[in-house]
A and B are shown apart, each in its own frame.
Chain A
Amino acid sequence: MRATVLKDLKLARRAGRFVWLSIDAEDARNAGFLERFPVTVFPSFFVIDASSERAVLSYTGSATRTELLSLLADGESRARTGPEAILAQADAEQAGGHLDAALASYRRALAQGGLRWAKRPRVIESLVLALSGAERAEECAEVAWREGPSLPRGPSFANVVGSGLSCATGIADGTPARDAALAALVPLAWQALSIKDLLADDRSSLYEAIVDAHKARGDLPGARRVAEAWWRFLEKDARRAGTKEEHAALDSARVEAALTIGDPARALPSIEESARDFPWDYNPKARLARLLFELGRLGEARASAEEAVGKAYGPRKLVLYRFLVRILEAQGDRSSERATLDEAVTFGEGLPAAQRKDELLFVLRAKREALKQKEGAGDP
């Protein structure tokens, strides 16, 4: 999105009425902002009233230029009557982290706006995203499969069924609710893929959600078949990309698709190209490490992972440390593993509170402890 939609959006007249703040959530300089406005999903957008320092609107996930312009309009002019007023309240509650209140307000806005309300698709989308963010998977999936079919076939429909399907795979295994949600949402996701003017990000996410749905059902051959279709789309997108940034934007999807197909090597040329194009960026090196590890090329995987860790910053660095430890473990290099775990824990403990990843730190500390115990027991 940053490579395409946002660049274009800045040229719009309405965008000129805002101060535009770009926040790299991994950068320690932004810890203060993140304490005020926690961000867990990327990208996340906020409209903030500078005088009160309060967010009047928030939105998560990718969005088209038209959708973002509409959000800017919503953030700028707050109607104070009818369903629009309730929507404004819901947006502010969502942006302020008052999830239960926001969910209730979105539902009230929908009830009052009725079936023909022009904002209905965007409100259903906000409701589904809020439920997803609140980790209420069953409700999120249910709203998506009940309301999705009534929506016009556009970006909101695609986001509703894509997010709903991701929620459905997160419902407890073997429950009737999950089976029903997957059965309803997979065909809707295929319908969404037939929409012509979909963002490449959104199209790729839909393929990924369908792949994950097959995996959730234990249907690995089905997952591989969908991943092949996903890969063909990614190849087509790579040919269409106008810039190196656009080309690299779907690299993580290339890795996931290739791994699902069981052919990590097919993603190597593309990721190697990104590593050459963006030598300062840790992402291509981290992705190369993952592919090389799956190919059993442990020495090269280690070199790539070490390079990625060296370039990385912020909480993501902990994820890269964890993967490097996995490679060192596979190599049987205990002393490097111990030194890397020490370095990782020290780094993680030094992160600002708003960026600290306690669960990941817990895992790394536990690994370090287990390694110490093994060594103490004389296990070679």
Chain B
Amino acid sequence: MFRNAILMTVPLLLLFFILAEAGTAPLRVGGRCEYARYSGEARIISIVEKNEDRYEVKFLFTPRTQIKAQPPLLLTEKREFLMLIDNSIYPNKAYLKLNSIVADKVFDCNIKVIIKGACTPRLFEFPSMRTVND
């Protein structure tokens, strides 16, 4: 009886591990993402009031060094991007004044380009910017 049980269990365990290894069908969406980050600079080209105390700040991004084999989302030449706090919040006046954000000024800027996952594929970081609460 005990021997039979072992004989039955071993194949079942083997089958389980095989299935576990092969079990890769994705039925969940989202999940962790991976990015590449490239440094560059952002030149402010316009600051326009969007609504109450929120400003639409547009900039041009230039990578510090030309990358010949660019991922598609690094196509930044002659493209205007929005400067957003945490990539989603339009800056207010306090933020603009605190960081002396005016037209034609150039700031350090990193572009994050997604490598894998279903997150927002192109994000920008402004490492020198201070927030109002800093």
- Pair from one complex: no
